[in-house]
Amino acid sequence: MSFYPPRRTLMGPGPSDVYPRVSEALSRPTIGHLDPEFIRLMDEIKGLLQYAFQTDNALTLPVSAPGSAGMETCFVNLFEPGDQVIVLQNGVFGGRMQENVTRLGGQAIVAKTPWGRAVDLEQAESTIKQHPEAKAVAFVHAETSTGAMSDATALCNMASSAGMLSIVDTVTGLGGIEVAVDKWGADAVYSGTQKCLSCVPGLSPVTFSPRSQKVISSRNTPVQSWFLDLNLVMAYWGEGTQRAYHHTAPVNALYALHEALTMLKEEGLQASWQRHSDNHQALKAGLNAMGLELIVPAESRLPQLNAVAVPESVDEARVRQQLLAEFNLEIGAGLGELAGRVWRIGLMGCSSNPTNVRTCLAALEHCLLSQGVKLEAGAAVAAASAHYGH
Amino acid sequence: MSFYPPRRTLMGPGPSDVYPRVSEALSRPTIGHLDPEFIRLMDEIKGLLQYAFQTDNALTLPVSAPGSAGMETCFVNLFEPGDQVIVLQNGVFGGRMQENVTRLGGQAIVAKTPWGRAVDLEQAESTIKQHPEAKAVAFVHAETSTGAMSDATALCNMASSAGMLSIVDTVTGLGGIEVAVDKWGADAVYSGTQKCLSCVPGLSPVTFSPRSQKVISSRNTPVQSWFLDLNLVMAYWGEGTQRAYHHTAPVNALYALHEALTMLKEEGLQASWQRHSDNHQALKAGLNAMGLELIVPAESRLPQLNAVAVPESVDEARVRQQLLAEFNLEIGAGLGELAGRVWRIGLMGCSSNPTNVRTCLAALEHCLLSQGVKLEAGAAVAAASAHYGH
């Protein structure tokens, strides 16, 4: 029997709601992965990704698999067994970076910042100083597990000053906050499609600086993964009209990505960031009016991912289940050490809009009231509306 | 600007034409990858894949990336550095298997059969005898690069008799010819979605026997790939209603796969194989009527992938370009050592139907005539129609 999904409002840590234009693009007729028209599409996607990433990097493409494969693409291509990599960890995804380094036979030097905080710059500086032999510094720009934003400019600068490469995870960042790969001087950056791009999940945009591209092409050992080996992938995603078959690209998902990136360009990067910021401020005003607090300090909050502390008396899982059952509204649970302690409310891409903010606040208020939390009914939505000025 | 693909008829080595029901399913509303409804979908997909693979294997799931990642999933999970793997190679994809073994630090023992032939059983037997210390035998059941089908029953038997695991590539096989994982006694089998399932590209169904599942769970070293590590993936794709986040599943692609597998079940495996066989016979009759020959001997031809020898006097690339430009019809070029020497005509899934057979024959006839080949005009389509009996 065919599967008909319920119609949810997606306000978790991703996937976010998909733009109708993107869904429609997804179902356009499949063509071959070596069709001249498809090669043209690939070139356009490359250009649109360069716009989104704000980079001139030639090696910019979507990996044919989700964000964790994008992460792995960066690590397995840039590093060889024995390499030392400094991992500045402040959440789940920094932990995954460490796993990547270890599994490829590298040595991860881990410096931890408490979860919910931006990566500590002084600690980063001193770790880099203590390990001049390290090949790279890796960190998460937008930590999806906590909602913390780290200072990519400062951290990439530290890395390059020390002669090290910088690896940046901005899976949740791209399209929602400033991502400026060339300005940062970042060497390898990966993202996802199902967050602030409001495209379907399954692809991972990546970009590599000329410096890191050179590292990849002059390795001593082959990349451990055949599928992710960029030296092979580039024969397919590279320049010119003659492309060699490497793997069969996920053709329809790439139609969707092209459409989502086209929409981002139509809106403009600045306008998109501003929209994400506005809706975040409105949500925050509403949450505060209910007595709820964000766990990340104001200066390093991701507007698109709001980690909310669960009040002591509240059964957090019951709230999420009730939101889903009664409002068809998905918000996220905590991950790792924040499991059971926070909700993660996403305002990403298409999902970042005033209707979603108000709906989420009203629904959350209803659930908290039903668990006996004392609230001034209606105050949350009113506070959000006041922020919007109407 | 939005990208609108041309409407092609896909008769290459995959992707094949996508069923309209599958395209429609693809664009259904995205839900979360941990949504209870999505977990239910995952369970249904598992059951449908077990039907398609004809297996009771609990470890049966679609890898969230294309077929080459499915291949890599099998190799990196089952083998550790130092392991010996016998690779019975008769085309491009056997070569890729060898690459996989080498890159994970294993030792590939390669026995080659000429391209366009089924894997040589006597040679396989003697290679296995000469290398009793090998851990596994790997081969391609349905070689997409040549159109040759190998005897999976015999080869899996040889492997298990020698106490070795068997790894089977049937990317092009599933849904088009008999794939009987349990009857074969195969230990790890991978496939693709964009061939005889007529789903979009981007996923790779895999299945593992209880024996190979045990090998994976009792490894001495971690799997080199975090993304493909089945010990982690199973926390998400495993049993029960509580699933741990591993990566964000390609939600919409899985809707499409569910729909394609549902259609396969509605048609029935036997009926689908029969259809692929019928259309192959009709195509073959038409090709022969044009004086064209298939390169694979009759007893080991894949009905879904017809490798046709290019006549001496003909510019093969010009024919493909003309088919695309004038008929919006895609057929495939040769790969590897068959590049320039064959066309690959796919009759896969949705694309395996009498209209496509006749269209392809008529179009090909036109192109050959335009290159001065002497033909009896109309004979090819007539021969195909005679095969259909009307």
Whether residues B313 and B340 share a domain: the answer is yes
DSSP H or E stretch at residue B80: none
Whether residues A170 and A256 share a domain: the answer is yes
Q: Which of A23, A102, A247 to mutate to test the interface with B (most CBs of B within 10 A)?
A: A247
Asked whether B5 and B330 are in contact (CB, 8 A), the reply is no
- With CB atoms and an 8 Å threshold, state whether B226 touches A262: no
- Nearest by CB to residue A2, choosing from B104, B262, B335, is B262
% residues pLDDT > 70 (chain B): 100
- With CB atoms and an 8 Å threshold, state whether B202 touches A252: yes
Asked whether B156 and B168 are in contact (CB, 8 A), the reply is yes
Bridge partner residues of A309 (DSSP): A342
Whether residues B285 and B369 share a domain: the answer is yes
Rounded CA separation B48/B116 (Å): 32
- With CB atoms and an 8 Å threshold, state whether A248 touches B41: no
DSSP H or E stretch at residue A137: strand A136-140
Rounded CA separation B313/A19 (Å): 51
The confidence score (pLDDT) of residue A240 equals 78
Nearest Cα residue in chain B from A98: B226
pLDDT tens per residue across span A68-116: 999 999 999 999 999 999 999 999 999 999 999 999 999 999 999 999 9
Question: Residue A381 falls within a domain, yes or no?
Answer: yes
Q: Number of residue pairs across A and B with CB atoms under 8 Å?
A: 239
Give the burial string for B206-218 (b: 16+ CB within 10 Å, else e). bbbbeebbebbee
- With CB atoms and an 8 Å threshold, state whether A3 touches B25: yes
Question: Residue A58 falls within a domain, yes or no?
Answer: yes
Measured CA angle at B103 (ends B99, B105), to 5 deg:
125
For strand B148-149 and strand B142-143, is the pairing parallel, antiparallel, or unpaired? antiparallel
DSSP string, A317-349: HHHHHHHHHHH-EEEEEP-GGGTTTEEEEE--G
The confidence score (pLDDT) of residue A76 equals 98
- With CB atoms and an 8 Å threshold, state whether B31 touches A65: no
pLDDT tens per residue across span A28-56: 999 999 999 999 999 999 999 999 999 99
| A311 CB neighbour count, 10 Å cutoff | 15
Q: Which of B35, B227, B246 to mutate to test the interface with A (most CBs of A within 10 A)?
A: B227
pLDDT for residue A232 is more than 80: yes
Question: Residue A204 falls within a domain, yes or no?
Answer: yes
The confidence score (pLDDT) of residue B390 equals 67
Contact residues on chain B for A258, CB-CB shorter than 8 A: 2-3
Instruction: Bin B85: left if φ > 0, else alpha if -120 < ψ < 50, else beta.
Output: beta
User: Torsion angle, CA of A261/A266/A268/A271, rounded to 10 degrees?
Assistant: -110
Domain count for chain A, please give it: 2
Q: Name the residue among A285, A284, A287, A280 with its Cα closest to residue A303.
A: A280
Question: Residue A375: phi, psi to the nearest 5?
Answer: -140, 155
Q: Write out the residue range of the structural domain in which residue A300 sits.
A: 268-388
Asked whether B248 and A194 are in contact (CB, 8 A), the reply is yes
Whether residues B211 and B337 share a domain: the answer is no
3-state secondary structure of B146: coil
Determine the residue type at B7: R
Helix, strand, coil tally for chain A in percent (to 5)? 45, 15, 40
Whether residues A40 and A159 share a domain: the answer is yes
Q: Name the residue among B82, B58, B105, B53 with its Cα closest to residue B230.
A: B58
- With CB atoms and an 8 Å threshold, state whether B8 touches A29: yes
pLDDT tens per residue across span B132-162: 999 999 999 999 999 999 999 999 999 999 9
CA atoms within 13 A on the CB side of A239: 3
Whether residues B315 and B246 share a domain: the answer is no
Rounded CA separation B79/B221 (Å): 9
What ipTM goes with this model? 0.97
Question: Residue A363: phi, psi to the nearest 5?
Answer: -70, -40
pLDDT tens per residue across span B364-374: 999 999 999 99
The confidence score (pLDDT) of residue A75 equals 98
The confidence score (pLDDT) of residue A239 equals 83
pLDDT for residue A379 is more than 70: yes
Rounded average pLDDT over B188-201: 98
Whether residues B92 and B109 share a domain: the answer is yes
Measured CA distances, A304 to A177, A281, A351 (Å): 8, 10, 9
Contact residues on chain B for A36, CB-CB shorter than 8 A: 324
DSSP H or E stretch at residue B199: none
Rounded CA separation B287/A187 (Å): 53
Q: Name the residue among B145, B97, B335, B78 with its Cα closest to residue A227.
A: B97
SS3 string, A142-174, reads: EECCCCEECCHHHHHHHHHHCCCEEEEECCCCE
Rounded CA separation B122/B88 (Å): 11
Q: Residue A91: which residues within 8 A CB-CB, separation 6 or more?
A: A115, A140, A143, A144, A145, A146, A148, A335, A336
Whether residues B225 and B285 share a domain: the answer is no
pLDDT category at B241 given cuts 50, 70, 90 is confident
Question: Residue A5 falls within a domain, yes or no?
Answer: no
Residue with tokens 């010819």: B177
Measured CA angle at B171 (ends B339, B266), to 5 deg:
130
Whether residues B160 and B261 share a domain: the answer is yes
Last residue of a domain, one of A200, A233, A266: A266
- With CB atoms and an 8 Å threshold, state whether B5 touches A330: no
Residue A180 CA, distance from chain mean position: 14
User: Torsion angle, CA of B212/B216/B220/B221, rounded to 10 degrees?
Assistant: 130
Measured CA angle at A357 (ends A355, A363), to 5 deg:
95
- With CB atoms and an 8 Å threshold, state whether A17 touches B30: yes
pLDDT tens per residue across span A248-277: 999 999 999 999 999 999 999 999 999 999
Last residue of a domain, one of B216, B250, B266: B266
Strands (E), B113-267: 136-140, 142-143, 148-149, 165-169, 188-190, 204-208
pTM for the predicted model, two decimal places: 0.98
Q: What is chain A's Cα-based Rg?
A: 21
Q: Name the residue among B169, B109, B74 with its Cα closest to residue A226.
A: B74
Whether residues B250 and B282 share a domain: the answer is no
Question: Residue A2 falls within a domain, yes or no?
Answer: no
- CATH number of the domain encompassing residue B277: 3.90.1150.10
Whether residues B44 and B91 share a domain: the answer is yes
Question: Residue A6 falls within a domain, yes or no?
Answer: no
Sign of CA dihedral A64, A69, A74, A79: negative
Measured CA distances, A365 to A303, A311, A370, B53, B242 (Å): 21, 13, 9, 48, 27
Residue with tokens 């089908």: B149
Rounded average pLDDT over B3-31: 97
The confidence score (pLDDT) of residue A242 equals 80
Whether residues A64 and A133 share a domain: the answer is yes
DSSP H or E stretch at residue A215: helix A210-217
Rounded CA separation A85/A96 (Å): 13
% residues pLDDT > 90 (chain B): 98
Question: Residue A70 falls within a domain, yes or no?
Answer: yes
Nearest Cα residue in chain A from B69: A227
Rounded CA separation B291/B283 (Å): 12
Contact residues on chain B for A1, CB-CB shorter than 8 A: 262
Rounded CA separation B258/B377 (Å): 43
Question: Residue B13 falls within a domain, yes or no?
Answer: no
- CATH number of the domain encompassing residue A217: 3.40.640.10
Rounded CA separation B256/A217 (Å): 37
Q: Residue B293: which residues within 8 A CB-CB, separation 6 or more?
A: B287, B308, B309
DSSP H or E stretch at residue B96: helix B92-103
% residues pLDDT > 90 (chain A): 98
- Nearest by CB to residue B8, choosing from A32, A200, A335, is A32
Last residue of a domain, one of A247, A266, A285: A266
Helix, strand, coil tally for chain B in percent (to 5)? 45, 15, 40
